[in-house]
A and B are shown apart, each in its own frame.
Chain A
Amino acid sequence: MGLPLSVRALDVTSDRNRRLLSIPELEAPAGALIGVRGASGAGKSTLLYALAGLLERASGSVRWGDTDLLSLGPERRAAFRAGHIGMIFQDFLLFEELDALANASVTALFRKRSERAALRARSAERLTRLGLDAGVRSVASFSGGERQRVAIARAVAAEAPILLADEPTASLDRAAADRLIEDLVAMTRETGTTLVAVSHDLHLIERMDRVLTVSDGALSSHEVPA
């Protein structure tokens, strides 16, 4: 089951104190699928990284369930991400020399020894479900669509209640992107995961429960797709 999101007075500034993002208030229920769109450089990815607690120069509060991520130190934020947040990136960010299973279960490497086997098993199961062979083939030989499915398997293998996706279909052709959208939506719906997906892809955006538009570092509209 996902976690609800509550953002209050979120301000993100650059190293030179230029304001990059300002969100007075944002609420999303647990299990919501939220699309974020906007022009390039508007602050979409910055919002996503702020929701993940990855930005150092962020103030206000980003509350996932009972946890205010911004009030935590870097190590506790990392621990929160490890336990609660799965992330997907535009260009997959895989370890090219590892096979699909090793990539999908990469977070097992820094988990407790007792949790590793279970995580690997779930990773294998997710890969199978996404139509991939865990095999021994390194992901360097995979197509873009296959790589992004490995990245999704990695993000959902830990059964994190939150999934943050940054342009997950941007590097894929239409067919691969559509298949990926189906898989992503189906899996998050099934598990009740809260999904925040930054994307220019209308096919993805229209599958979301709510769509936020970011413009010049601020939320300019907040709508529900037809």
Chain B
Amino acid sequence: MSALWADLPVLTQDILWTLLLLLPALVVGILTLRGYAPWPLVRAILWRFRWPASMFVLLIAISVGMGIGLLAQERGLRRGTAQAADKFDLVVAAPGSELTAMFAAVYLQPSDMPLLPGEVYDEIAGHEDVSVAAPLAFGDSYGTAPMVGTTADFVRYLSEDRITGRMWQTSSEAVTGALVPLETGDHFTPAHGHGDAAEDDAHGDSELTVVGHMAPTGTPWDRAILVPVEAVWEVHGLANGHAPERAEQIGPPFDAAYFPGTPVIVTHSDELWANYALRSEFTRDAETMAFFPGTVLSNLFRVMGDVRQAMSLMALVTQILVAASVLLGLFILSRLFRRQIALLRALGAPARFVFAVVWSFGATLLLAGAALGLGTGLGAAALLSRAVTARTDILVSAPLGWSEIHFLAGFVSATLLLSLLPAAIVLRQPVVGGLRA
């Protein structure tokens, strides 16, 4: 059976799982409503108690929206961060924290890292399986944009060659990410450091000119200014990676003797298997560490996955508690239409019909709240995604996914079953007491 399930396409599994979750509610609905037409009465009761009913719907919507928003946002964030790491097949850095190196290389988070020497770079760049080997140099910024020194090949690789304007040709030229507010031809002087601690005048004598712009990548690199790695070294008064007789050269090969060091080397290989070989080859005790950012992220997600499951469970429990409170409210509300219920019994309505009226009333509120909650959750997730994207430059989008649909189906089913309780309790009230109420 489990093998049969596993053989099904994922979409089919998701659809079946949704139907399975909804099945109890569907069965209850069919059994309760079969042969009756309680809707005119349900509508009348809903209209009579429209304000308290609206409040209940709103409460349910907020509760469902929070759960759905949380799930969608978490998934969107995971996808966004994973997508941002797509171009970073293998990162080589000095031994230390993979996480720190990944945050620095992929997400451009400033951090202090030891440098790799030119010999290591030469070895990596000269490897027959490596098609791109880019040193990254950090430390400067302009406004809120970090300045990253690297190679032209890496910029082309990162942007998939979608560059308007042109690539730099000298160490005083720069290419900007899509979100950097600099136009072609603009000049700027980089500050040393980032943010409030940046020293604006530290590199006062160097001026760079923007000559090109990368197309949007949906990564923090969209807000970065990319310059030849030589430019970063030069503004810091270091050798520029080339022997004096080739001092005007931009890009590799570099001379190991004049290579000031790089915290990170990003590599790309045309063959997937080669990345594994390279990782193995460049993972050396006390010298280099090589890692796949995708794997680091995956480990991070795995750790977060437990938290996510706990959060999902908490969200579900919270919502069931909210729904239970709402159902208690429904029961209290049903006391208000106790006379109408008693009237129906006095007129000869079967118990199941009265049950159907009360249950349908609760079910309508729950379904309306769930539907509104779905919209609220997705709206909130979209707003939150924009905020996260604006803050981190990681393109986060949170469209409706199957986990939200399953969550909603589970919630709807559980609460529709729960709403049988107030219906059953209302039914037990004495008819004459209701008529005289």
- Which A residues contact B (CB, under 8 angstroms)? 49, 52, 54-56, 74-75, 78-83, 85, 87, 89, 93, 95-98, 102, 106-107, 109-110, 112-113, 116, 154
Contacts and interface: CB of A to CB of B under 8 A. Distances in A.
Contacts of B324: none
B44 interface: yes
Contacts of B37: 109, 116
A109 B45 CA distance: 15
B44 A95 contact: yes
A130 to B, nearest CB: 18
Interface in B379-437: 430-432, 435
Interface string B27-41: 000000001111011
A82 B41 CA distance: 17
Contacts of A110: 36, 344, 348-350, 353
Contacts of B48: 96-97
The residue among B44, B339, B350 with the most chain A CB atoms within 10 A of its own CB is B44
A107 B348 contact: yes
Contacts of A54: 345-346, 431-432, 435
Interface of A is mostly: helix
A28 to B, nearest CB: 21
A55 B351 contact: no
Given A97-B47, A98-B40, A102-B40, A79 B343 contact: no
B39 to A, nearest CB: 9
Contacts of B335: none
A81 B346 contact: yes
B308 interface: no
Given A93-B339, A97-B44, A106 B432 contact: no
B187 interface: no
A17 to B, nearest CB: 16
Contact of A93 (B38, B43, B351, B435): B435
Among A52, A54, A83, A98, max chain B CB count under 10 A is at A54
A82 B205 CA distance: 98
A81 B348 contact: yes
B340 interface: yes
A83 B40 contact: no
B277 interface: no
B347 A56 contact: no
A196 to B, nearest CB: 14
A82 B44 contact: no
A44 to B, nearest CB: 13
Nearest to B436: A45
Contacts, number: 75
Contacts of B347: 81-82, 87, 106-107, 154
A96 B346 CA distance: 18
A13 to B, nearest CB: 13
B346 A52 contact: yes
B156 to A, nearest CB: 69
Contact of A109 (B40, B339, B431, B435): B40
A140 to B, nearest CB: 9
Contacts of B353: 109-110
A78 B44 contact: no
Given A49-B432, A78-B345, A113-B35, A93 B350 contact: no
Contacts of A56: 430
Interface in B31-86: 35-38, 40-41, 43-45, 47-48
Interface in B319-357: 339-340, 343-351, 353
24 contacts: A54-B345, A54-B431, A55-B432, A74-B351, A75-B350, A75-B351, A82-B348, A87-B346, A87-B347, A93-B339, A93-B435, A96-B44, A96-B48, A97-B43, A97-B44, A98-B44, A107-B347, A107-B348, A109-B36, A109-B37, A109-B349, A109-B353, A110-B36, A110-B348
Contacts of B345: 54, 78
A110 B430 CA distance: 20
Nearest to B43: A97
A97 B35 CA distance: 24
A6 to B, nearest CB: 21
A79 B348 contact: yes
Given A93-B339, A93-B340, A98-B40, A80 B435 contact: no
Interface string B359-392: 0000000000000000000000000000000000
